[in-house]
Structures are given as C-alpha cells and as structure tokens.
Chains A and B, each alone.
Chain A
Amino acid sequence: GQNIDQPTEMTATEGAIVQINCTYQTSGFNGLFWYQQHAGEAPTFLSYNVLDGLEEKGRFSSFLSRSKGYSYLLLKELQMKDSASYLCAVRKNAGNMLTFGGGTRLMVKP
C-alpha cells in the first residue's frame, strides 16, 4: 500500500510565504503531483516532480527528495484566493493512477 501524509490545516498571512509538506511511502514511485482544490470544486493541477529538485512555476514551487520520500509545495506572495486545500498525490509504476493524501487546508488571513 501507500502512505501519504500531509498536515491537516495551515494558516498564513496574505503576502507571506508558506510551505506545505508531504511525506510518502510507496514502492515503484513514478512521480508526485500537487493539486489545488477549492471547497466543492474539482482538483486543479499545480505541479509535477519525478526527479529530485525544485520545479518553479510562478508563485508556486515544488520540491522532491526521492530518497527521503518527501516533497513540499511552496507558495509565495500569498493571496486570499490561495485559501484552498492542497493535495499531494503519488503515481506508482507505469500506470497513471494517482493516490491522494488527505490534503492540507490552507487559510490565508489578511
């Protein structure tokens, strides 16, 4: 099986930087995805890592360490609209099935 752990909730201030961590245990690791999900809406794709290192996309960056089974999503210059759940998902082997963590609910305060 797979274990994917994320903090349940985080709070941050508008304009600040926040880091959301994700740890996972799986065999046959084949990529880690981050999704954003606003309440009652569909998950939307943010980033993908399969090799160690940092991937940057505008205000969002994602880091992966395969040896440590660890990833983080970094959100800079937080905006109120960034208040959402952030889902870490792991892909295993050659298939495309994603296994999701429970998500981290981020609340951005003024």
Chain B
Amino acid sequence: EPEVTQTPSHQVTQMGQEVILRCVPISNHLYFYWYRQILGQKVEFLVSFYNNEISEKSEIFDDQFSVERPDGSNFTLKIRSTKLEDSAMYFCASSEATGPASNSPLHFGNGTRLTVT
C-alpha cells in the first residue's frame, strides 16, 4: 500500500537554527498538509498546499514557517529561527481530492520528531 514518507524521523537542533523537514506524499495525491503535535497535546493543523500554492493556513503558520514543493515528489516544511516551543512531532499528510462530496481521507506519514534545545 502506498504511504507518505518523512525524513528525518528525528531532528535535534539548537534554538535559532533553521530546519527543513522533508516529505514524499503518495504519488497520485494532489493535496498536501503539515500538522504538528506537541507531546501530550492534540494534532494541530499548520498548512495545506494545492496546485503549488498554500490553500489554507492556521494562526500557528506565521512568517517563521514556509512550505515548498521543490520537485515532483518532495514537499518540505522550513522552520526558520527555531524556538524551544517548536519542539513537537511534525506530520506530513496527503489526500487525493477535496470538495463537499469527497470523503478522501488524509494519509499521514510517521512524522519527524523535532527537538529544539
């Protein structure tokens, strides 16, 4: 079964550094997402991406964050000037379709655990 893959599985960085989290969505999916989950808390939406542009973003997704689809397969999340509170599990997800009649679920990758020290 096709799956969303994320690298690295674990990233440790120092406060103030930049990190890039990488994702390869399922190949025939058109919609891509980043979510995060701080330890012990709920899964929170960051951003969705379609047709090479951001379609929705949350209040969390401020100027510190950016996303990119640099080629036909990768989808990246860049976090600039990391802070201690950015420590979380970051999940990438993809889905086939959207729209009122669609039940296309989000398929999540196994996540990147980001630790900011």
Of residues 98 to 117 in B, which have CB atoms within 8 Å of A's CB atoms? Answer: 98-100, 102-111
Tell me if A96 and B42 are in contact (CB < 8 A). no
A100 contact set on B, CB distance < 8 A: 42-45
Q: Which of A12-20, A37-45, A63-71, A74-82 interfaces with chain B?
A: A37-45
Of residues 22 to 57 in A, which have CB atoms within 8 Å of B's CB atoms? Answer: 30-31, 33, 37, 41-45, 48, 50
State the CA gap A96–B33 with chains docked (Å): 9
Tell me if A97 and B107 are in contact (CB < 8 A). no
State the CA gap A42–B100 with chains docked (Å): 25
Total A-B contacts with CB atoms under 8 angstroms apart: 56
Q: Does A87 make an interface contact (CB < 8 A)?
A: yes
Q: Give 26 CB contacts A-B under 8 Å.
A: A30-B100, A37-B43, A41-B110, A42-B108, A42-B111, A43-B91, A43-B108, A45-B106, A45-B107, A48-B103, A48-B105, A50-B103, A87-B42, A94-B98, A95-B48, A95-B98, A96-B31, A96-B104, A97-B33, A97-B45, A97-B48, A98-B45, A98-B106, A99-B45, A100-B42, A102-B42
State the CA gap A37–B91 with chains docked (Å): 12
A101 contact set on B, CB distance < 8 A: 42
Tell me if A96 and B45 are in contact (CB < 8 A). no
A-binding residues in B (CB < 8 A): 31, 33, 41-45, 48, 55-56, 91, 95, 98-100, 102-111
B-binding residues in A (CB < 8 A): 30-31, 33, 37, 41-45, 48, 50, 87, 89, 94-103
B45 contact set on A, CB distance < 8 A: 97-100
- With both beta carbons as reference points, the residue of chain B lying nearest to A48 in the complex is identified as B103
- With both beta carbons as reference points, the residue of chain A lying nearest to B45 in the complex is identified as A97
Contact among A42, A89, A96, A98 for B109, CB-based, below 8 A: A42
